Amino acid sequence: MKGQITGLVLAGGRALRMGGSDKGLVDLAGKPMVAWVIDCLREQVDELIINANRNRDVYGAMGYSVVADRSGDFQGPLAGMASGMQAATGEWLLTAPCDSPLVSPLLARRMWQACDQGADIAVAHDGERLQPVFAMIRCNLLGSLQAYLDSGGRKIDRWYGEHAMQTVDFSDCPDTFLNINEPADREQLEARLAAQGGGQE
C-alpha cells in the first residue's frame, strides 16, 4: 500500500442538526472531533487532507492540507470527495467523515484488500447497511465524478453503482460508524469515554 493512499476527512457539511456548528470543530472529550478522526487515519495513509468549507484557517493550523468543495453551495460528500481526489498525490483516496470519531484502525487495510482484488471503489458495510462515506476510491475516477456532479447528481450510491464497487464487511467494528449528529450524541459518547478512562477502544 505504501505511497498509494491519500486519506480525506470530510468536514464540509452544514451540520444543521448540531445547530449549524462546524461539526469537525465541536469539542469531544477535550479535543475537536476532527482530531479524533485524524488520529485514527493518519497512521493508515501516506498523506492526509481535510475537506472543509468553513473555518479553513482553523483546520489548516492542524498541519494538513485543506480543500474546499468546488462549489460553495454544499453539494454533499461527493463534492468533497472530488476535491480530495483532485488534490491527492496517491492513487487511492480513503474517506471518513469528521463526525465519526472512532474510526477502525483496520479501515485502510480492509478497503485495500477489496481494491487489490479488482474493485475501483470499496465501501464499508456495517452488517445491516452500506456506509457510503467510508470508502476507498480510485483517483482516476475524478473525471467521472466531476461529470456526475456537473449533471446535477448528488446520490453517492448511484455514482458508486456506475463503477466496479465492492462492499467491505465491518460488522465487527460498529464503533467506526458511531455518528455524532446532535448535541445529545456527543454527550452520550463523552460519558462513555469518561467511563473508559477517556481513551478509544
Provide the residue ranges of all domains of the chain, joining segments of one domain with +.
5-195
Residuewise pLDDT in 10s, the chain (201 residues): 545 999 999 998 765 444 567 889 999 999 999 999 999 999 999 999 999 999 999 999 999 999 999 776 667 899 999 999 999 998 999 999 999 999 999 999 999 999 989 999 999 999 999 999 999 999 999 999 999 999 999 999 999 999 999 999 999 999 999 999 888 888 999 998 888 875 544
C-alpha Rg value of the chain to the nearest Å:
16
- Residue 136 phi, psi dihedral angles, 5° rounding: -120, 125
pLDDT at 93: 98
Gap between the terminal Cα atoms of the chain: 25
pLDDT at position 197, please? 74
Tell me what percent of the residues of the chain surpass a pLDDT of 70: 91
What is the pLDDT at residue 182?
84
The total of other beta-carbon atoms located within 10 Å of residue 140's CB is 11
pTM recorded for the entire structure: 0.92
> What pLDDT score was predicted for residue 89?
94
5-195 to CATH, choices 3.40.50.150, 3.20.20.30, 3.30.70.100, 3.90.550.10: 3.90.550.10
What is the structure's pLDDT at 200?
Answer: 47
pLDDT digits (tens, 9 = 90+) for 13-48: 765 444 567 889 999 999 999 999 999 999 999 999
Cα separation, 142 vs 159, in Å, equals 12
Q: Which residues contact 138 (CB under 8 A, 6 or more apart)?
A: 91, 92, 115, 120, 121
